[in-house]
Amino acid sequence: MEEKILLVDDEEGIRKVMGISLMDIGYQVFTAQNGKEALAVFRQHRPPIVLTDIKMPLMDGIDLLQQIKAESPDTEVIMLTGHGDMDLAIKCLKLEATDFITKPINDDVLEIALKRANDRIGMRQQLRAYTENLEILVHEQTARLMKTERLAAVGQAVEGLSSALRGIAGDLDAGINCFNELPCFVAIHNRHREIIAINPLYRERLGDHVGQASGAAYPPDSGEEASPVMKTFATGKGMRRRVTVLYADGTRGPVMVHTAPIRDSQGAVELVVEIGADIGEVRRLQEKLQATQQRYQQLFDEAPCYITVQDPGLTIQAANRRFQEDFDLTIGNFCHKIYKNRDDACPDCPVAKTFADGQSHQCEMEVTSKRGETYRVLIQTAPIRDLSGNVTHVMEMSTNITRTRRLEDQLASLGLMIGSVSHGIKGLLTGLDGGMYLLNSGFKKENQEQIREGWDVVRFMVGRIRDMVLDILYYAKEKDLKWETVDVLGFAEEVLKTVGPKIKEQDITLTHRFDPAIGRFQVDAGIVRSALTNIIDNAVEACRSDASDRPHEICFEVTQDAGYIYFNVSDNGIGMDEATRANIFTPFFSSKGERGTGLGLFISNRILSQHGGSISLDSEVDKGSRFSIKIPKKAP
């Protein structure tokens, strides 16, 4: 049977193209052109997955997402967004959207997003099935326990009947007939130590020993002392003893025997009633119960999730091995104390909700292990009821989805990177087209000035492409460092030679101050040079972006102390506000608009960290910025 999926977009062309792709994958596709229409289709067909554009008339994708999640929290919603809608896409993820895909839609990206959605649906189904199996197991165990308790009560009942038999008098047949329906072995012995009457169960299981000696049902090697009947005749007192009997088929088995004397009118023991309860069956039931308990405990402990059983006060009454390995039960018995070190219950606690309405609930939250590690867990609850149907306890199962969430974050970052890089490459290709146009036009007109201008554009764009590719490689893979001992002054002068021409072209003054006594340090010179160049390029862009008429200046300083080399890059450009300063070293964040990839300063910071160094920033809007770089003289 095909899986259902709802596709919502106000562009008919996108609905048709994506609908064909989804049907090829194997989905039954329903479509809608706006959120209002989509809500009606969703309520009619209940598809488990919804693909929706964010910006639509009548009801946009965010309102549709919130409405669907309110009616069906388990429905997976994937958002479709343009490159400029990244803030809205991130807002959707906070509203529990499964994923977002940027337009134009790539089929491979679409299949990855759908697989992630189906994996989440499958995880919930497995948790639900696991909960139902545990509930069945609990009910079966309870039933077996009650049966065992009833069998154990037989011994008490037999003992009470034995006491009551002391008052039996009158006709012997009437006395034995009253035991015919009892699930026990009943025999009556006379003062000559002979069996004179037995009930049907005795005859069936032990044999017809009427007229035989009182010890006929016991093994020959047990001796006369083993018979409690002999003791009762000797002492005149009732006996209770566990003995071994010989069954009619030749096997032996344990029996709990009770005896009671029946006296004549002078008070002498005339008869003895012997009642035996087969405890072999009880033992077999106990062993079966023990085996069931062991299997239940093994299932409980080996479950691939955290399981606790909580009472109405949210106190943990039982926890499986995996929970006890990762969480410290000694700090308190309350769930919220163990998970989050809270003194009061968590808001929207799913266990409290299950106690309130008797239904299973699900949520996702962050918890802290006893080692201080933060986990993201998916929680599912199930009620445990008594025979009257009242919820006495709640079972909480929590699956650690930390690695899944990290993978989702990485995939989201990858999507952002692909979108950012694609946008950057598009701009570079446009620039190349312009340069090639100037070259072709110059060749046709034999205009050397136009040829040089076109070649300068092409050369500049090729350099930009090279820088972007290097940035992507640095981001994608941790580079092994090639350590070498380098003269600091020579290294700094090479950096100046690299950035000097570009700074001069922008009519920016470049000054430098180098400590003449500075010596050598151990670095991977190539990538540290790239990091410093990125930082100086950032200073150049800050000066270029300043619309004021003041002259612009960049200063490059190199100093030292006993253990470190310091590179300082300062400019009097536009500066940065607080939000920019907070995100300047974050991947894909750029204040340069289309001129930046958002990777340069992030990679520079990463390179310096690899060297055991660090970078700090001091900046103020309209006054400029100062980057301070610190690198150890010796390789860490």
pLDDT tens readout for residues 112-145: 888 888 888 888 888 777 777 776 776 776 666 6
Highest-pLDDT range among 31-45, 155-169, 427-441: 31-45
- In terms of DSSP bridges, do strands 316-319 and 306-310 run parallel, antiparallel, or are they unpaired? antiparallel
**Mean pLDDT of the region 272-299:** 78
Report the CATH number at residue 383: 3.30.450.20
113: tokens are 């997003």
* Same domain membership, residue 619 and residue 490: yes
Residue 132 lies in a domain: no
User: In terms of pLDDT, which residue wins out, 302 or 44?
Assistant: 44
Residue 48 lies in a domain: yes
Starting at the earlier edge strand, list the strands of the sheet with 49-53: 27-32, 3-8, 49-53, 76-81, 99-102
**Mean pLDDT of the region 541-550:** 87
* Same domain membership, residue 505 and residue 601: yes
Residue 150, CA distances (Å) to 154, 285, 341, 540 in order: 7, 11, 44, 89
Is residue 602 within 8 A of residue 583, CB to CB? The reply is: no
pLDDT tens readout for residues 409-420: 666 666 655 655
Report the CATH number at residue 503: 3.30.565.10
Domain's final residue, options 284, 313, 339: 284
* Same domain membership, residue 527 and residue 459: no
Identity of the amino acid at 77: V
How far is residue 318's CA from residue 309's CA, in Å, rounded to a whole number? 5
Judged against a pLDDT cut of 90, whether residue 302 lies above it is answered with no
Judged against a pLDDT cut of 70, whether residue 610 lies above it is answered with yes
pLDDT tens readout for residues 53-95: 988 888 888 899 999 989 998 899 998 887 656 777 778 888 8
Residue 300, CA distances (Å) to 138, 361, 396, 452 in order: 11, 20, 12, 77
* Same domain membership, residue 386 and residue 423: no
Residue 147 lies in a domain: no
Residue 370 lies in a domain: yes
3-state secondary structure at position 265: coil
Residue 141 lies in a domain: no
595: tokens are 């001129």
For residue 590, the enclosing domain spans 484-632
* Same domain membership, residue 392 and residue 509: no
DSSP letters along 365-419, please? EEEE-TTS-EEEEEEEEEEEE-TTS-EEEEEEEEEE-HHHHHHHHHHHHHHHHHH
* Same domain membership, residue 174 and residue 96: no
Domain count within the chain: 5
* Same domain membership, residue 386 and residue 415: no
* Same domain membership, residue 61 and residue 13: yes
* Same domain membership, residue 621 and residue 554: yes
* Same domain membership, residue 446 and residue 573: no
* Same domain membership, residue 97 and residue 32: yes
Residues present in the chain in total: 636
pLDDT tens readout for residues 319-360: 888 888 888 876 557 888 888 888 888 888 999 999 999 999
3-state secondary structure at position 620: strand
Starting at the earlier edge strand, list the strands of the sheet with 374-385: 316-319, 306-310, 391-400, 374-385, 362-368
pLDDT band at 473 (very low <50, low <70, confident <90, very high): low
Residue 27 lies in a domain: yes
Domain's final residue, options 66, 83, 105: 105
Q: Which of 581, 580, 576, 574 is nearest to 552 (CA)?
A: 574
Average pLDDT of the residues of the chain: 82
Residue 545 lies in a domain: yes
Q: Which of 483, 503, 632 is nearest to 569 (CA)?
A: 503
* Same domain membership, residue 410 and residue 395: no
Residue 311 lies in a domain: yes
State the DSSP H helix or E strand holding residue 309, giving kind and residue range, or none if neither. Answer: strand 306-310
Report the CATH number at residue 13: 3.40.50.2300
Lowest-pLDDT range of 191-205, 296-310, 381-395: 296-310
* Per-residue pLDDT at 30: 93
* Per-residue pLDDT at 419: 56
